[in-house]
Amino acid sequence: MGSFSFSEIAGMLGVSKGTVEVYVTRAQKKISEDLHNSLFLVG
Residue by residue, pLDDT tens for the chain (43 residues) are: 579 999 999 999 999 999 999 999 999 999 998 888 877 766 5
Domain annotation covers residue 13: yes
**Dihedral, CA atoms, 28, 29, 33, 35, nearest 10 degrees?**
10
Domain annotation covers residue 1: no
Q: What is the pTM of this model?
A: 0.74
The answer to whether the Cα torsion of 17, 18, 19, 23 is positive or negative is: positive
Domain annotation covers residue 34: yes
For 31, the domain range is 6-41
